[in-house]
Amino acid sequence: MGCIIGLIIGCACLMLLMEHPRRLSTDIDIIAEPGTDLDKYLDRASEIFPFKDVEEQKRIGKNNIEKKHFKFTYDSPINNRPFYILLDVLFEHNHYSELVQKEIQNDLLLTEPEYVTVSLPSANCMKL
């Protein structure tokens, strides 16, 4: 599909690595190469997912690492109210020693073939 920006890390990564996760992460952390143009990925995400709104949230960090934060709003199929997913993008080079490719497919997500394949740090190199 060509919509994934970079390397998924954090709780969203753990959810995808687990065979049967019990919790859905609504905060997605991604590492993207410095200089990555996010606009084309955000536009593509709004075409294929039922988001009502995408809002960049300006935050000032305490270090010199470039980051961007986005809030994607959608109507929850569970309670028919607006809900959101947060996307945090950290611009840096990959520092994980081992990556795996994983399809976004599990018990908590409504997906269908052609599944999107993403890059994740392996379970062996995650810092917990």
Q: Taking the model in full, what pTM does it have?
A: 0.79
User: Does residue 96 sit in helix, strand or coil?
Assistant: coil
Chunk the chain into consecutive blocks of 10 residues (it has 128) and report each block's average pLDDT, rounded to whole numbers.
Answer: 67 81 81 89 79 83 83 84 90 90 76 81 78
Domains of the chain (ranges; CATH) run 7-125 (3.10.450.620)
For 79-88, letters b (16+ CB in 10 Å) and e give eeeeebbebb
Report the pLDDT value the prediction gives residue 16, as an integer from 0 to 100: 82
Cα–Cα distance for residue pair 26/97, rounded to 1 Å: 26
Output the pLDDT for position 113. 80
Q: What is the reported pLDDT for 2? A: 44
pLDDT of residue 1: 40
Q: Which two tokens stand for residue 26?
A: 């609504």
